[in-house]
Amino acid sequence: MRVGTVRGRPAVLSGNRALDIALASDGRFPADMAALFERWDELAEWADSRGLDDAVPFTPQELGAPFLRPSQVFAIGLNYRDHASESGVAAPDAPPVFTKFPTCLTGPYDVVALPSPGVDWEVELVAVIGRRAEHVREQDAWSHVAGLTVGQDLSERSVQLAGPVPQFSLGKSYPGFGPIGPAIVTPDELQNPDDLALSCRVGDDILQQGRTKDMIFSVPELIARLSAVCPLLPGDLVFTGTPHGVGMARTPPRYLTPDTILISSIEGIGEIRNPLTAGAGYPAQQR
Ligand code: ZN
């Protein structure tokens, strides 16, 4: 099952067609994604038995973020060896965890205003929690995941690195710094949810390419480790880290520029396309 938000309403998606869940179910299911997470298995069963024959076409621009109100957004740093290495640090023996404050979340086709010329890209697999997870064992973790989606962990590097210790959470939480989508895809839709190709590019210029099997801490291991401390709640997001190829690690460093489109994609899930513009703080002479 692929579930997204079309014109602000939860819908089951198939290609470029959408079935409005509340309308098509005659109100059996509400037009409220948070409530749907509580009945996810029932929803999948309904969608499967009902079929999508009467789904109607939508345009990509009508797609919003699949979910905008998570209680918690976890993000993992340095979860790929080649990215740790390009960052000049050893591969971690425990996952570095920070948050992206939820006000940074935005839709898969939304415009993102760059606050400065120092904004970097990080394509990431994002796990959406479907069931409360507390002290979950690794082998039980996938059953607590509603689905997977594509995310960008956009990062303003000067804020991230300002001060006596890095400010990961702040530098990664400007408005628009957490585009997600195009849909929440249930793990059973994917041939191998533990091994998905992911990449990001600007135009034809490929910036990052990797595979999620190369994560140091897999989705199940992250859920086990996070839920050993914080209960994970339905709708919570876990940004699982980025492979190598970020702009900060290049010589010279390279960052995102206005009037381009950042395209991020993950095998079997889809792609998100975010046009970039110069925000209010972006120096006029560098536009
Ligand atoms: Zn990241």
Distance 214 CA to ligand 1 centre (A): 15
Residue 287 pLDDT > 80? no
For residues 240 and 263, what is the distance between their CA atoms, to the nearest angstrom? 18
Distance 260 CA to ligand 1 centre (A): 21
Distance 236 CA to ligand 1 centre (A): 16
Distance 77 CA to ligand 1 centre (A): 6
Domain parsing of the chain, residue ranges: 2-62, 73-286
Distance 62 CA to ligand 1 centre (A): 27
Query: Strands, DSSP E only, in the chain?
Result: 2-6, 9-14, 17-20, 56-57, 63-64, 73-76, 97-99, 105-106, 112-114, 119-120, 123-129, 145-152, 155-156, 178-185, 197-202, 205-211, 237-239, 260-266, 270-278
Distance 205 CA to ligand 1 centre (A): 20
CA distances in angstroms from 43 to 28, 182, 194, listed in the order given: 10, 19, 24
Mean pLDDT, the chain, integer: 97
Distance 49 CA to ligand 1 centre (A): 38
Tokens of 237: 């997001």
Distance 268 CA to ligand 1 centre (A): 21
For residues 254 and 259, what is the distance between their CA atoms, to the nearest angstrom? 16
Its CATH architecture, for the domain 73-286, is Alpha-Beta Complex (3.90)
Distance 248 CA to ligand 1 centre (A): 12
pLDDT range class, residue 118, cuts 50, 70, 90:
very high
pLDDT range class, residue 284, cuts 50, 70, 90:
confident
DSSP H helices in the chain: 21-24, 33-37, 40-50, 81-86, 157-160, 168-171, 219-227
Residue 120 pLDDT > 80? yes
Distance 286 CA to ligand 1 centre (A): 26
This prediction has a pTM of: 0.98
